[in-house]
Structure 1
Amino acid sequence: MDSYIELQLLPDPEFPANMLMNALFAKLHRGLVSSGEGRIGVSFPDVEQKGVGLGARLRLHGAATDLERLMAVNWLQGMRDHLSCGSVNLVPANAAYRVVRRVQAKSSPERERRRLIARKGISAEAAVQAIPDSAAEMLRLPYLLLSSQSTEQQFRLFVEHLPVQKEPVGGAFSAYGLSSTATVPWF
């Protein structure tokens, strides 16, 4: 993972940055599904700035050949007027590393109860006792609002940047460019 591409959203009077980032990330997901093969990771360099959510920059990390292959798919179609896309660059030698992962909240006790009933065959009353409404987990992480292509329902994809570390950890990335174990360069 020696290279990166930086995508910077341009200010737009009609669309807020978070709406554009949602659209950009949805397109990236489709591009990664068709050509990413688990070798491209993402990071959001502005995430730690207070009040900006994930920010207006998205970095793609990987080997130069993998990044060039992704960019050849033309997954940015329809977004080019809304962003500045850098070229493939080498990661700075002094870069640190961090895991950028998806966190899934257990925010719907009702959904969890339905799953429990289906799996264990217990009654609705027993499921309510096992999973009370107070079990809902509210995350305070930045997120992307995406739509499922299969169900067409919107969902929040919560993104967490784990603490910075000195050494890289290899591994595969999801079709969202996220991993629970593999690191991306952080600079």
Structure 2
Amino acid sequence: MTTHYIDITLLPDPEFSHAHLLSALYAKLHQVLVQLQANDIGVSFPRYQQHPRTLGTVLRLHSSEAALARLMGIDWLKGMRDHIALTAMSPAPTGALHRAVIRRQFKTSVERLRRRRMLRKGETAEQAAAAIPDSAQRQPNLPFTQLHSATTGQRFCLFVEHVPIQASPQAGSFNCYGLSHGATVPWF
């Protein structure tokens, strides 16, 4: 149950943009969540906006007091301490609303989709192009952070969506990015 939270605020930096710092911070969080095999720590972005598109400058961690203490007992913020301000762990406000924070994945590259179809169905490039027109490419309009995949070695965009607010919490687990399709976090 997500009863407590910690805010991590990115500080202004003349050398690095907030987007760059958030990417580095989120990569470190992902690594430690994988290391801990934690499925009880969620995230939200209190300054999230779609127009202009940004996750903002605050990463909020949500969980139980014990889980957050375990996370913060590891020096996972090493190298980031000069770039962040960290609040003390606090209980979530009584009566807070709730929302799920989810990852959205998009099929954005028609070339990749066509190559995949050619391999799967044994089609020619022309057949794949006829089956997957250029209009199939989607332009996501959600805020995102860029991460580096440890598996493939490639950079990718992690698109984040805050789903509509709910009056009551929904229990569930979080993935290694602190996101969930079912579990909610307090929203305040």
The answer to whether the superposition gives a TM-score over 0.5 is yes
Given that 2:49 and 2:143 are in contact with CA atoms closer than 8 Å, whether structure 1 keeps it comes out as no
Aligned mates of 2:158, 2:81 — CA distance in 1: 23
Aligned mates of 1:51, 1:114 — CA distance in 2: 33
Residue of structure 1 in register with 2:130 after alignment: 129
After superposition, the C-alpha distances for 1:88-136 in whole angstroms (9 at most, x for unaligned) are 2101002111111111111011111222233333333322222112100
Given that 1:95 and 1:185 are in contact with CA atoms closer than 8 Å, whether structure 2 keeps it comes out as yes
Residue of structure 2 in register with 1:172 after alignment: 173
Aligned mates of 1:12, 1:66 — CA distance in 2: 30
In the alignment, structure 1 residue 35 sits paired with structure 2 residue 62: no
Structure 1 residue 82 displacement after superposition: 0.6
Does the C-alpha gap of structure 1 residues 110 and 13 become closer, same or farther in structure 2, counting only changes over 3 Å?
same
Given that 1:35 and 1:69 are in contact with CA atoms closer than 8 Å, whether structure 2 keeps it comes out as no
Given that 1:36 and 1:66 are in contact with CA atoms closer than 8 Å, whether structure 2 keeps it comes out as no
Gaps of 5+ in 2: none
Structure 1 residue 183 displacement after superposition: 0.9
Q: What code does the residue aligned with 1:166 have?
A: A
Residue of structure 1 in register with 2:151 after alignment: 150
After superposition, the C-alpha distances for 1:25-68 in whole angstroms (9 at most, x for unaligned) are 01111011111521111000001385361111010001111111
Aligned mates of 2:95, 2:49 — CA distance in 1: 20
Aligned mates of 1:168, 1:57 — CA distance in 2: 22
Q: Which residues in structure 2 correspond to 1:15-54 (within 5 Å)?
A: 15-48=16-49, 50-51=51-52, 53-54=54-55
Q: Give the TM-score of the pair, scaled to structure 2.
A: 0.93
Q: Secondary structure at the match of 2:145?
A: strand
Aligned mates of 2:125, 2:106 — CA distance in 1: 22
Given that 1:100 and 1:183 are in contact with CA atoms closer than 8 Å, whether structure 2 keeps it comes out as yes
Given that 2:53 and 2:142 are in contact with CA atoms closer than 8 Å, whether structure 1 keeps it comes out as no
Question: Which range moved further: 108-117 or 47-56?
Answer: 47-56
In the alignment, structure 1 residue 115 sits paired with structure 2 residue 127: no
Aligned mates of 2:125, 2:108 — CA distance in 1: 18
Given that 2:53 and 2:141 are in contact with CA atoms closer than 8 Å, whether structure 1 keeps it comes out as no
Q: Secondary structure at the match of 1:117?
A: helix
In the alignment, structure 1 residue 69 sits paired with structure 2 residue 70: yes
Aligned mates of 1:51, 1:134 — CA distance in 2: 25
Gaps of 5+ in 1: none
